């Protein structure tokens, strides 16, 4: 099975390499030129040795042409090798660039279910660490594999031309080296797979721990975290040592076989020289060829070990690249334009785990401009409903329509541009404050950005930043409080002002005084816009046109605050149980 996977992965790598056929062609030509020049040097060296006509007697007139030719060929071989390495670098890093781009493109269209089910660090490890490891192995393969194979064929041809009988000794013993290298390489691929997989697990754990350092400290999990990291680290050490140990056996094993070949050539050649069937210069040339012939086997054996690691990493990359994407938009998908905000949910059923029912037979009709609050206990399906409205997940049964258009028949882009979302969880991209606010409208003017910031009450703290709206920030190291981050996220929506809004506890990290201001700003923003408000603090949704009370994936009550309180049902019980009900 591993062999099949290895072969398939190699075919995929060759597909990407095949995009650079011209570079590859010239790389092979230059490798051949470099090897040819290097292999002709021993012939010239042998001729130079034969100019020694006796003890202390050298024919210098005959020697000098040999020396000139050797110098010219050495320079030519070096130049060809340098250009070949440059081309190989270009091929390697362009291939890795293409695969990384393919991975990032696939991530953009993967269903949210895949993203939700995988640790972020695991995916990061595939795109960054595995790609780097793959590049190292591929570069070594290009650099040494071509020249190695051509050197073997070239030296074999030269040896046959010098003395075919001695060459036969080399040919008979050489397969031993190939057999040893192949035997070890077959057993190292699975070890490199485990090493690569554990490296991804380690990256995911480090990212999770560093990114949530406050939580780790708050629950005094430092020692436990270290223990868990030690366990992963020890496994990574074990798999790495095994992979490196067994792969490192290849080189000394093949060197031993190659030394046997060299000794056999030396002994056979010495006997031939005594018999007069080969000159001393010819024997020197042959021994040089025997050494050059066996050397590539050592290099190729090392390349094979590196390629095993590279292919293991490539396999993980291709697993990501070939993940099933989300269902694409239909060919004739409609572009939602001039959206009024009439939303219809008809007989919708959905569950993340298809063996466990979550939402079933959900029906809702929302008129344009309505404020719809969604309340209920944890796990009742509030956030799930938002995911379905935005089409982050597709419904299992039923339909959701906007202005009479089934959202499955509309483009995702036009649907999501029709919504403005402010979530409890904030996210800022790396860039300036201005760029973060203008994320939804990159073409917005400075005046519009400032107006949105003022409307969200973010302007005052932005002006206090070192560079104002041009201050660089990021989600991890912005120096901003959680509340300030949330104000920037609110400013984003204020700038876009789409026809529909989704507010998921949008003021959870903001102080009470600012919250009152934001609620007023929201009230202005929601005028004439269909709004879905996921609320935990029930006191913030008294003015909603309709309140949906969800439980176990169903709407069990709906109506205005006063209507639901009069019913003395689940909402009334829920409202009275909240500590903020009278706030």
pLDDT recorded at residue 399: 92
Residue ranges of the chain with pLDDT lower than 70? Answer: 1-6, 50, 52-59, 175, 177-178, 181-182, 185-187, 189, 211, 214, 218, 251, 280, 297-298, 301-302, 305, 475-478, 506-510, 514, 536-540, 578-583
pLDDT tens sequence across 192-211: 778 878 887 888 788 777 76
Measured CA to CA, the distance from residue 138 to residue 27 in angstroms comes to 14
pLDDT recorded at residue 481: 79
Q: Quote the distance between the C-alpha of residue 340 and its chain's center.
A: 39
Domains of the chain, start order: 2-321 (1.20.1560.10), 343-577 (3.40.50.300)
Whether 394 contacts 327, CB under 8 Å: yes
Measured CA to CA, the distance from residue 308 to residue 188 in angstroms comes to 7
For residues 143-176, b (16+ Cβ closer than 10 Å) or e, as one string? bbbbbbebbbebbbebbeebbeebbebbeebbeb
Backbone phi, then psi, for 543, in 5-degree steps? -90, 5
Task: Tell me the DSSP string of 546-569.
Answer: EEEEEETTEEEEEE-HHHHHHHTS
Cα–Cα separations (whole angstroms), residue 517 to 486, 510, 512, 525, 528: 14, 10, 9, 12, 20
pLDDT recorded at residue 56: 61
Whether 455 contacts 492, CB under 8 Å: no
Measured CA to CA, the distance from residue 289 to residue 287 in angstroms comes to 5
Measured CA to CA, the distance from residue 45 to residue 41 in angstroms comes to 6
Three-state SS annotation for 204-226: HHHHHHHHCHHHHHHCCCHHHHH
Check the CA dihedral 404-382-207-122 and report its sign.
negative
pLDDT recorded at residue 434: 92
pLDDT recorded at residue 79: 92
Measured CA to CA, the distance from residue 375 to residue 535 in angstroms comes to 6
pLDDT recorded at residue 581: 45
Neighbours of 221 (CB within 10 A): 15
The pTM assigned to this predicted structure is: 0.66
pLDDT recorded at residue 91: 87
């Amino acid at each position: 099975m591993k062999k099949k996977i290895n072969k398939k992965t190699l075919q995929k790598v060759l597909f990407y390499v095949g995009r650079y056929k011209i570079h590859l062609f010239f790389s092979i030509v230059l490798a051949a030129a470099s090897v040819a020049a290097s292999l002709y040097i021993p012939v010239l060296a042998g001729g130079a040795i034969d100019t020694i006509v006796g003890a202390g007697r050298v024919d210098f007139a005959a020697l000098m042409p040999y020396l000139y030719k050797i110098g010219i060929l050495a320079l030519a071989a070096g130049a060809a090798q340098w250009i070949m390495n440059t081309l190989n670098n270009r091929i390697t890093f362009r291939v890795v660039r293409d695969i990384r781009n393919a991975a990032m493109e696939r991530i953009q269209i993967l269903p949210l279910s895949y993203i939700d089910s995988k640790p972020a660090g695991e995916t990061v490890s595939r795109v960054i660490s595995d790609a780097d490891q793959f590049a190292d192995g591929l570069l070594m393969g290009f650099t040494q594999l071509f020249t190695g194979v051509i050197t073997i064929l070239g030296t074999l041809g030269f040896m046959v031309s010098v003395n075919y009988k001695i060459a036969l000794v080399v040919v008979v013993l050489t397969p031993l080296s190939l057999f040893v290298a192949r035997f070890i390489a077959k057993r190292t691929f699975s070890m490199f797979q485990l090493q690569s997989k554990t490296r991804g697990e380690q990256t995911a754990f480090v990212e999770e721990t560093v990114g949530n350092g406050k939580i780790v400290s708050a629950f005094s999990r430092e020692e436990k975290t270290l223990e868990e990291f030690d366990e992963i680290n020890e496994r990574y050490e074990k798999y790495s040592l095994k992979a490196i140990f067994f792969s490192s056996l290849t080189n000394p094993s093949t060197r031993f076989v190659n030394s046997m070949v060299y000794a056999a050539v030396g002994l056979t050649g010495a006997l031939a020289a005594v018999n007069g069937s080969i000159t001393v210069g010819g024997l020197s040339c042959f021994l040089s060829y025997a050494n050059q012939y066996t050397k590539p086997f050592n290099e190729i054996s090392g390349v094979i070990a590196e390629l095993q690691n590279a292919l293991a990493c490539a396999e993980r990359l291709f697993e990501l690249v070939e993940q099933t994407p989300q269902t694409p938009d239909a060919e004739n998908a409609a572009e939602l334009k001039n959206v009024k905000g009439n939303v219809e949910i008809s007989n919708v059923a959905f569950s993340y785990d298809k063996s466990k029912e979550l939402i079933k037979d959900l029906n809702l009709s929302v008129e344009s401009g309505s404020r719809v609050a969604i309340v209920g206990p944890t796990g009742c399906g509030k956030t799930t409903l938002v995911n379905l409205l935005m089409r982050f997940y597709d419904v299992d049964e039923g339909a959701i329509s906007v202005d009479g258009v089934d959202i499955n028949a509309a483009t995702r882009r036009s649907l999501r541009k029709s919504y403005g979302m402010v979530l409890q969880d904030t996210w800022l991209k790396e860039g300036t404050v201005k760029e973060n606010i203008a994320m939804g409208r990159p073409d917005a003017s400075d005046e519009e950005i400032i107006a949105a910031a003022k409307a969200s009450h973010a302007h005052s703290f932005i002006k206090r930043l070192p560079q104002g709206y041009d201050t660089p920030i990021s989600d991890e190291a912005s120096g901003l409080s959680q509340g300030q981050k949330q104000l920037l996220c609110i400013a984003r929506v204020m700038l876009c002002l789409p026809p529909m809004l989704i507010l998921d506890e949008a003021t959870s990290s903001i102080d009470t005084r600012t919250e009152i201001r934001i609620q007023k700003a929201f009230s202005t923003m929601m005028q004439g816009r269909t709004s879905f408000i996921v609320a935990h603090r029930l006191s913030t949704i008294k003015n909603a046109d309709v309140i949906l009370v969800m439980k176990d994936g169903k709407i069990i009550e709906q109506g205005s605050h006063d209507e639901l309180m009069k019913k003395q049902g689940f909402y009334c019980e829920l409202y009275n149980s909240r500590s903020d009900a009278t706030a």
